[in-house]
Amino acid sequence: MYDIFWGILAISEAIKELFHTLAKRFSHDLYQEVGNFILTIVKILIIGVGLGAILQVWGINITALVASLGIGGLAFALAAKDAASNLFGSFSLLADKSIRIGEWIKIEGTEGIVEDIGMRTTKIRSFGKSLITLPNQILANNPIENFSRRGVRRIKMNIGLTYNTSSTQVLNIVKEIRYMLHNHPDISQKETLLVHFNAFGDSALNIFIYTFTSTANWESYLKIREDIHIQVMKIVEENHSHFAFPSQSIYIEDNKTL
């Protein structure tokens, strides 16, 4: 039996080293934590079985001893329920590869960058720099919106031109904006790209712009969006039109008494 215990311990050490290798290869600390956890469980089992064998040799009734610990065991089982749920949640995250450290995610109203994925919890750094800790069972049992994996990010806007803009000017502005977007190096040509004169607004002729950047990175997206705004402004200026703003015209009728 002594040899069997040492054999099981050697196998558990090999499993631990396997998970450590996976952690280095895939840059995922959760693999290493899983390896350590498996080794700990195996050691506890070996110690438990070993103690049981020793007690039997000494003539102690193990069945009666276990029965006497029934209430304590039940309390322990209840306390371990959430821990087990979080553990299986971490296994689910590991198997699905739904999130990785450094990715931008949103779940159950929590949004931010994943900083750490542990055996029990996952830590998320919000954009307000708060550190949010979520039990892994929440991540495993709820939809996760992973912004980092969408690859693109949408730009959607309406621009309003003043009503003294002619139809020819409107058509030229639409064509030039569309051409600019089709030839912009940071605009995805695989996604939907729309530029249309789509409405007569209360105080403006509205042009609808809908496109996607070729990156989902927040900082890069803001720079691209800024450049698009500047390009649109130049096109409007070069066509001798102006942007409209909410306004009202008041007409006063002069009723002269005859």
Residue 13 covered by a domain = yes
**Confidence at residue 61, expressed as pLDDT on a 0 to 100 scale:** 67
Residue 114 covered by a domain = yes
- Mean pLDDT computed over 193-209: 96
Tell me the residue range of the domain where 114 lies: 104-149
Residues 219 and 173 in one domain: yes
In the predicted structure, residue 74 carries a pLDDT above the cut 60: no
Residues 143 and 187 in one domain: no
Residues 116 and 192 in one domain: no
The identity of residue 86, as a single letter, is N
Token pair belonging to 1: 């039996």
Q: Is the pTM of this model over 0.75?
A: no
Q: What percent of the chain has pLDDT over 70?
A: 61
Q: Which of 112, 128, 149 is the last residue of a domain?
A: 149
**Confidence at residue 99, expressed as pLDDT on a 0 to 100 scale:** 85
Identify which has the larger pLDDT, 183 or 11.
183
Contact 86, 119 (CB under 8 A): yes
Residue 113 belongs to domain with CATH number: 2.30.30.60
Q: Is the dihedral of CA 50, 56, 59, 61 positive or negative?
A: positive
- Contacts (Cβ under 8 Å, ≥6 apart) of 231: 177, 180, 184
Residue 190 covered by a domain = yes
**Confidence at residue 70, expressed as pLDDT on a 0 to 100 scale:** 57
In the predicted structure, residue 14 carries a pLDDT above the cut 60: yes
- Mean pLDDT computed over 202-225: 94
Residue 253 covered by a domain = no
Residue 97 covered by a domain = no
pLDDT digits over 182-196, tens only? 999 999 999 999 999
Residue 205 belongs to domain with CATH number: 3.30.70.100
**Confidence at residue 120, expressed as pLDDT on a 0 to 100 scale:** 79
Quick one: 162 exposed, middle or buried, by C-beta within 10 A (0-12, 13-18, 19+)?
Answer: middle
Contact 196, 207 (CB under 8 A): yes
DSSP string, 186-215: TB-SSS--EEEEEEE-SSSEEEEEEEEES-
In the predicted structure, residue 38 carries a pLDDT above the cut 80: no
**Domain total in the chain:** 3
Residue 96 covered by a domain = no
- Mean pLDDT computed over 8-29: 60
Q: Note the helical H segments in the chain.
A: 2-26, 29-57, 62-68, 70-96, 136-141, 167-182, 218-238
CA angle, residues 106, 112, 117, in degrees to nearest 5: 85
